[in-house]
Structure 1
Amino acid sequence: MSLVFASLDGGLRICVRASAPEVHDKAVEWASFLKAPLNPENPEQYFFHFFVEPEGVFVRDQEKRLLEIDFDKNHLDYERKGHRGKNELIAKALGVAKGARRVLDLSVGMGIDSVFLTQLGFTVIGVERSPVLYALLKEAFARTQKDYLKSYELHFADGLQFLKQNKGLLEVDAIYFDPMYPHKKKSALPKQEMVVFRDLVGHDDDASLVLQEALTWPVKRVVVKRPMQAEELLPGVRHSYEGKVVRYDTYVVG
């Protein structure tokens, strides 16, 4: 993955900011995790600012654009009303009619698809390799009042390495992968959050390698989310479930 605004050692130009005494310990923990200074004297020198407040955490960039994950505020439509349950394209692609119930999501991102999958009744294990997004997700899962999200299992890891290290150790029925590409539009995000999101995560340049490794897992299906006009990530798509903007390419493994 190529990180925008990253140093040569992979560190983001980010600082942690917190002023309330009651969140000091949490701020120290996240500063250590992000390898970022806490309340630096020169915050204007950092492109991203990770705020730790009593009411939650969020990120702003130098242009004051906001990135926040809060499943209960639902500002990103986490609580989808009127969904079609097992008839949703993503559910069909993952093989819900074939008994698929446990899903490994290799690129959680803002958690929009992962949370929707839990709404649809799937048990989801999520992997996110952006440290900032992981921190935002971790806090959001810890704060949520939604019971169906309490059992969500979130891992901070590189998807490719996670696959290699956990093959045969996790019982999942299907793998879901939504890689980032330069041309991909995250239309579910408001404009300002989409800009910050892109700047944080960069592009999944190793997407084909991740998919190649996923196809070696003992699962029934591997599903890749793609823009409608994009080429297949790898040959061998068995079924393609097409929506208006995106499609779900399904590789049948076992």
Structure 2
Amino acid sequence: MTLPDVGQLPAGLTLVYRDGQLVLTGNERQFGKPLSVDFAAGRAAHRRQFGGGRGQLVAKACGLNKGLNPHVVDATAGLGRDAFVLASLGATVLLIERVPAIAALLDDGLSRAANIADTAPIASRMTLRHGDAAEALAALVADAAFDPEVVHLDPMFPHREKSALVKKEMRLFRELAGDDDDAPRLLEAALDVATHRVVVKRPRKAPPIAGPAPQHTLEGKTSRYDMYVHRALTR
């Protein structure tokens, strides 16, 4: 298989195919475990079957708990976990990822999911675009001919050393993505594009993103969703 062109990777990181799956890997002591996207097995499969359905916080924040299947732009797609949950519950999702290597992992994961019976219907509701949502969200949405009822944001936030040591799997991801210092600009772009609401995932005790105050908040044990509502979702 031909490796995708993702430009220059940070020193010590490599993209390889292992068992037919694209993997980003490096020294585990430095970067933690290798990264890949697998929507058909592991954590994604478990969450799809046992995660709580439309009662999950992300589903409630995006309006799926009302029996709706909105069009959701996941403007900070990352490894696609929340996007896959939303699509598995019936939403149509546009994933936008700005880091080339992570976008390549997503593309590989979606391609494989599209060829597996259990996940093919879900993958058919997921579309990927590579680009910087803070810089060009409107253009990326227009390019995909997508109706952006809801924009979901999960920006990377500055972390303490303690939390960085605990979450080993995020070391490699952070090496590529860094922190989202442009989160206020991303929120502004999302508010301009979303026709109905913007939902922002935050650590439970973190302040809101700088800018307009959220009208509603949904809070869980470790995280919360700040909600900026233009109008009610209906069908």
TM-score class, shorter-chain normalisation, is: 0.7 to 0.9
Distance in 2 separating the partners of 1:199 and 1:193: 11
1:227 to 194, 200, 203: 203
Instruction: Using the TM superposition, name which of 171-180 and 77-86 deviates more.
Output: 77-86
- Which residue does 2:224 correspond to in 1? 247
Deviations 1:95-151 (A, max 9, x none): 232845110000111111111111221110000001110011101110121121133
Match runs of 1:102-141 below 5 Å:
102-141=71-110
Aligned residue type for 1:175: V
Residue in 1 aligned with 2:180?
204
Alignment match, 1:86: 54
Please say if residues 21 and 36 of structure 2, whose CA atoms lie closer than 8 Å, have aligned partners that are also in contact.
Answer: no
Taking structure 2 as the reference length, what is the TM-score of the superposition?
0.82
Secondary structure of the equivalent of 1:66?
Answer: coil
Is the Cα–Cα contact under 8 Å of residues 227 and 247 in structure 1 kept in the other structure? yes
Tell which structure's C-alpha radius of gyration is larger. Answer: 1
Structure 1 segments unaligned to the other structure (5+ residues): 1-22, 38-44
Is 1:152 aligned to residue 114 of structure 2? no
Structure 1 residue 236, shift from structure 2 partner: 2.1
Deviation at 1:84, TM superposition (A): 3.4
Aligned partner of 2:191 in structure 1 is 215
| Partner Cα distance (2:140, 2:111) in 1 | 25
Structure holding more helix per residue:
2
Alignment match, 1:57: 22
Larger deviation: 95-104 or 215-224? 95-104
Deviations 1:159-193 (CA, angstroms, capped at 9, x unpaired):
123324256653121110000012289x9xx9442
**Structure 2 partner of 1:142:** 111
1:202 maps to a residue whose letter is G
SS of residue in 1 equivalent to 2:50: coil
What residue in structure 2 maps to residue 70 of structure 1?
Answer: 38
Distance 1:205 1:57, change over 3 A: same
Asked if 2 retains the 8 angstrom alpha-carbon contact of 1:184 and 1:227, the reply is no
What are the ranges of 5 or more consecutive residues in structure 2 without an aligned counterpart?
A: none
- Secondary structure of the 2:207 match is coil
Supply the distance in 2 between the matched residues of 1:35 and 1:84 (Cα, whole angstroms): 39
Alignment partner of 1:95 out of 63, 72, 81 = 63
| 1:151/1:60 CA distance change after superposition, 3 Å | same
Aligned length: 215
Alpha-carbon separation, structure 1, partners of 2:221 and 2:82: 16
The change in CA–CA distance for 1:150 and 1:218 in structure 2 (over 3 A counts) is closer
Question: How far, CA to CA, are the matches of 1:253 and 1:112 in structure 2?
Answer: 26
